[in-house]
């Protein structure tokens, strides 16, 4: 509230006398006097009682001024764009105009692989002084593009090769996220094209919420003749660019298969990471405890089948790749559920070591621990060991537990020929005079 008031005061000071007068008369106040008196009067109105309608009127006047100032500074550019709002692609002579904005790079989307650019990013230039705007783009598909769409079409008419419309900001430098302007609507050859736009409230002039997805034009696109796309939007003074691409659409299952094919981090690399972690952790030099990793996906809350994390993640804990991809297919956020840092598709890696452990470890095991000697063991409900009777003379029955310790080198080779007998070392932990003592029973063969 306080910041909103401050913001409003700054905006009021930048308004013209005529604008201040119209504000005051709309609020039923005296509009005579010098500019400083008018500013004073509007500011008092803001201070004494918060009028939402006054605030939005100030915002609107300010936005209009702000936009006009920007437009004037780049007048020559805007004028040349206005003459060529309709861009005709695949007609080299016409499309070589200044309207193409090669500096706009739309962000790479994992679920949409760009095959070809049909209309390179062009600015959505306001042509009317009113807020609602309409811009047109036209394009023709090449016979090759038409064939690509047809070849990928199923009987139900769904195609994995699509013609999509994407919109993003023109203004900032670098790669841009998709963002629709307020009140977006798209007509393709006169047909209403569905746009998935969600608004946080029904306040006017609001941009649809993230994430904005590419708009599928395919069902309305003509294969041979020219296509005309009308984009209706509301001008709030922001600069948008629009482009049309031929894309291959992937499902989360497709991406999962890609990851399994190309994104598996080798057992050796993973072990190295574990060893580095254990060395870096000074606590491990004094205690026998290692690094604990849960086998339960923090997202799905079930046992992982494809444990993965981003290359950029510092932690060992993984999450389930299939579930993570499905989640991002519904709502792309690409954020690591463990460290909450970006975990983009291109940086995802399947943990080869943990994959093997998941295959070896009993279904009941919920958590494992990496030990400083390069092995791992299951952690969980400390079960009383049936063998404790043999060793009852050495320990109190209640405090002794048995844990399975598995040599990591054994595990990786065993997981390859799956289900083979695995060497396990039965270890009995007991407490003698509050000291942890380890008794090894030697190698016992356990049939999995
Ligand atoms: Zn044409
Ligand atoms: Zn992370």
Q: What is the pLDDT of residues 294-334, one digit of tens each?
A: 999 999 999 999 999 999 999 999 999 999 999 999 988 99
Q: Which CATH number fits domain 2-73: 1.10.1450.10, 1.25.40.10, 1.10.20.10, 1.10.720.30?
A: 1.10.720.30
Ligand 2 geometric centre to CA of 334 (Å)? 11
Residue 401: DSSP 8-state: E
Neighbours of 212 (CB within 10 A): 21
Question: Which structure tokens are listed for 193?
Answer: 């094209």
CA distance 397 to 400: 6
Cα distances from 167 to residues 67, 98, 217, 235, 260, in angstroms, run 19, 18, 13, 14, 32
Under 8 Å between Cβ of 404 and 431: no
Q: Can you tell me the ipTM of this complex?
A: 0.64
- Going from N- to C-terminal start, the domains of the chain cover 2-73, 85-250, 253-446
Ligand 2 geometric centre to CA of 339 (Å)? 4
CA distance 209 to 198: 6
What pLDDT is recorded for position 97?
A: 35
Under 8 Å between Cβ of 400 and 391: yes
What is 253-446's CATH number? 3.30.40.10
How does pLDDT run across 331-354, given as a tens digit for each residue? 889 999 999 999 999 999 999 999
Query: Which residues fall within 8 angstroms of residue 6, CB to CB, at 6 or more apart?
Result: none
Alpha helix stretches (DSSP H) within 361-401:
none
Ligand 2 geometric centre to CA of 24 (Å)? 54
Ligand 1 geometric centre to CA of 225 (Å)? 7
Ligand nearest to the CA of 319: 2
CATH architecture, range 85-250 = Sandwich (2.60)
Ligand 2 geometric centre to CA of 262 (Å)? 20
Ligand 2 geometric centre to CA of 253 (Å)? 22
How does pLDDT run across 191-218, given as a tens digit for each residue? 999 999 889 988 888 999 888 999 999 9
Show the low-confidence residues of the chain (pLDDT under 50).
68-101, 286-288, 383-404, 409-448
What pLDDT is recorded for position 54?
A: 76
Query: Which residues fall within 8 angstroms of residue 421, CB to CB, at 6 or more apart?
Result: 445, 446, 447, 448
């Amino acid at each position: 509230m306080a910041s909103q008031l401050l913001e409003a005061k700054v905006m009021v000071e930048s308004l013209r006398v005529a604008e201040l007068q119209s504000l005051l008369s709309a609020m039923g106040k005296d509009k005579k006097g010098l500019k400083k008196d008018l500013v004073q009067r509007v500011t008092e109105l803001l201070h004494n009682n918060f009028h939402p309608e006054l605030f939005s009127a100030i915002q609107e006047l300010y936005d209009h001024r702000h936009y006009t100032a920007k437009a004037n500074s780049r007048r020559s550019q805007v004028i040349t764009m206005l003459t060529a709002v309709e861009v005709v692609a695949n007609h080299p002579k016409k499309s070589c105009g200044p309207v193409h904005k090669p500096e706009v790079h739309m962000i790479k989307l994992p679920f949409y692989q760009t095959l070809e650019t049909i209309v390179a990013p062009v600015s959505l230039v306001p042509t009317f002084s009113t807020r609602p705007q309409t811009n047109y783009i036209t394009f023709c598909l090449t016979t090759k593009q038409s064939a690509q769409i047809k070849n990928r079409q199923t009987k139900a008419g769904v195609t994995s090769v699509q013609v999509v419309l994407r919109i993003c900001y023109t203004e900032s430098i670098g790669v841009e996220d998709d963002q629709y302007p307020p009140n977006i609507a798209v007509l393709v050859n006169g047909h209403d094209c569905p746009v998935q736009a969600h608004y946080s409230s029904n306040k006017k002039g609001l941009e649809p919420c993230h994430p904005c997805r590419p708009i599928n034009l395919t069902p309305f696109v003509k294969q041979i003749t020219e296509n005309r796309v009308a984009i209706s939007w509301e001008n709030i003074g922001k600069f948008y660019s629009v482009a049309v691409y031929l894309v291959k659409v992937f499902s989360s299952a497709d991406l999962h298969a890609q990851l399994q094919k190309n994104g598996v981090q080798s057992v050796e690399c993973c072990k190295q990471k574990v060893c580095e972690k254990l060395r870096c952790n000074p606590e491990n030099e004094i205690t026998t405890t290692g690094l604990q990793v849960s086998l339960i996906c923090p997202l799905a809350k079930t046992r992982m089948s494809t444990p993965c994390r981003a290359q950029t993640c510092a932690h060992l804990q993984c999450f389930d790749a299939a579930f993570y991809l499905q989640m991002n297919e519904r709502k792309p956020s690409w954020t690591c559920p463990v460290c909450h840092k970006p975990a983009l598709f291109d940086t995802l890696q399947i943990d080869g070591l943990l994959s093997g452990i998941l295959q070896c470890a009993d279904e009941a095991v919920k958590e494992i621990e990496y030990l400083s000697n390069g092995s791992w063991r299951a952690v969980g409900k400390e079960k009383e060991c049936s063998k404790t009777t043999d060793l009852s003379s050495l320990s109190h029955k209640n405090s002794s537990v048995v844990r399975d310790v598995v040599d990591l080198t054994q595990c990786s080779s065993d997981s390859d020929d799956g289900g083979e007998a695995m060497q396990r070392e039965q270890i009995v932990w007991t407490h003698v005079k509050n000291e942890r003592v380890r008794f090894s029973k030697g190698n016992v063969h356990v049939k999995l």
